[in-house]
Amino acid sequence: MKKHTIFLILIVFSLFFSSCKYDFILPEVVPPIDNGGEPISFATQIAPIFAEKCNSCHSSRVPIMSADVAFSQLVPKYVNTTNAESSTIYTFATSGSHYAKVSASQGALILAWIKEGAKNN
Ligand code: HEC
């Protein structure tokens, strides 16, 4: 009986301590974009983000941003260069409400590219 009691106390204590674990969720720190004074390149910096995060669906089912889809379809429809933050391509990629979410730094890069005029470079 005594052994059992000690055993029980040990279990209760271990449960108590193992449940007291805090998981701090820190927001991802986004360093300022340093592109070495160069404009952000759609072909080498932006398209690969969409290829990684979006093209599993978008290259075939909803072909809006695969490498082979004309850039000219993407920009007029889903990019707003006068109000970059409201661009569908940016809000869909960063809000988390549309299937896939890019990282905070990828989002910052997309936003910076739009602010630079969303060029096909
Ligand atoms: C799991 C599949 C899937 C993934 C991954 C996905 N999408 Fe989509 N996307 C869809 C479907 C389906 C639609 C059409 C229906 C809708 O709007 O939900 C769509 C539509 C869109 C539209 C058009 C909205 C409109 O109103 O015309 C945009 C822009 C878009 N997606 C952006 C993205 C971006 C950016 C990513 C990557 C960060 C992404 N999607 C990842 C499935 C996906």
Confidence check: pLDDT of 16 > 70: no
DSSP assignment string, 12-25: HHHHHHHH------
Ligand 1 neighbours (beta carbon < 6 A) = 53-54, 56-58, 61-62, 64, 78, 88-89, 92-93, 98-100, 102
Mutate which of 52, 54, 66 for ligand 1 pocket (most atoms within 8 A of beta carbon): 54
The whole-angstrom separation of Cα 90 and Cα 84 is 8
Residue nearest to atom 24 of ligand 1 (CA): 88
DSSP 117: T
Q: Which residues are within 8 A (CB) of 43 and not within 5 positions of it... i.e. 6 or more apart?
A: 120, 121
Is the pLDDT confidence value at 1 over 70?
no
Mean model confidence pLDDT for the chain: 81
Categorise residue 118: left if φ over 0, alpha if ψ from -120 to 50, beta otherwise.
Answer: left
| pTM higher than 0.85 | no
pLDDT of residue 115: 96
Q: What is the pLDDT of residues 93-116, one digit of tens each?
A: 999 999 999 999 999 999 999 999
**Ligand 1 centroid – CA 98 distance (Å):** 6
Residue 5 has pLDDT above 80, yes or no: no
Report pLDDT digits (tens) over 40-94. Answer: 998 889 888 888 888 777 765 555 555 545 466 677 788 999 999 999 999 999 9
